[in-house]
């Protein structure tokens, strides 16, 4: 299953993520237009075995591909989830250049399949900060 790339245009969330069981390929994309790394992505493997955690700053889209048969993924967020402010970036937009480790077409939710390309996405004009709930 492939999830993401999700973000909130208001109440931007910072997320500390890790995998408790299994393995995922985790991806973040900088959506802060004023950033020198705007539109760039970073992908890394998170697993129960390697015990890595990843901080996803506010202003970044986040998604992952489960690379094991089963995975338990844990989030600690800096703000609440507001579904009315959530947006989905197109996971396979060529402009992002994400090298998803796929051996076949991924399983996607309808929301993830209908993501918006970066060129048309709602992005952040300036760097965002964590807000406290």
Active site residues: 6, 75
Q: What is residue 16's DSSP assignment?
A: E
By residue count, the chain amounts to 133
| Residue 32, both tokens | 């802060």
Q: Is the separation of the CB atoms in 10 and 64 below 8 Å?
A: no
| Residue in 96, 37, 99, 46 with CA at minimum distance from that of residue 75 | 46
d(CA 17, CA 32): 20
């Amino acid at each position: 299953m492939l999830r993401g790339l999700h973000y909130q245009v208001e109440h931007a969330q910072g997320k500390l993520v890790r995998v408790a069981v299994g393995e995922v390929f985790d991806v973040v994309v900088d959506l802060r237009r004023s950033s020198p790394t705007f539109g760039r992505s970073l992908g890394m493997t998170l697993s129960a075995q390697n015990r890595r955690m990843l901080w996803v700053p506010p202003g970044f889209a986040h998604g992952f591909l489960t690379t094991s048969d089963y995975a338990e993924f844990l989030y600690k967020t800096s703000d609440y989830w507001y579904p009315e402010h959530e947006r989905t970036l197109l996971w396979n937009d060529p402009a992002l250049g994400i090298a998803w480790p796929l051996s076949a077409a991924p399983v996607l939710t309808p929301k993830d399949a209908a993501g918006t390309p970066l060129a048309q996405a709602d992005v952040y004009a300036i760097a965002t900060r964590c807000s406290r709930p």
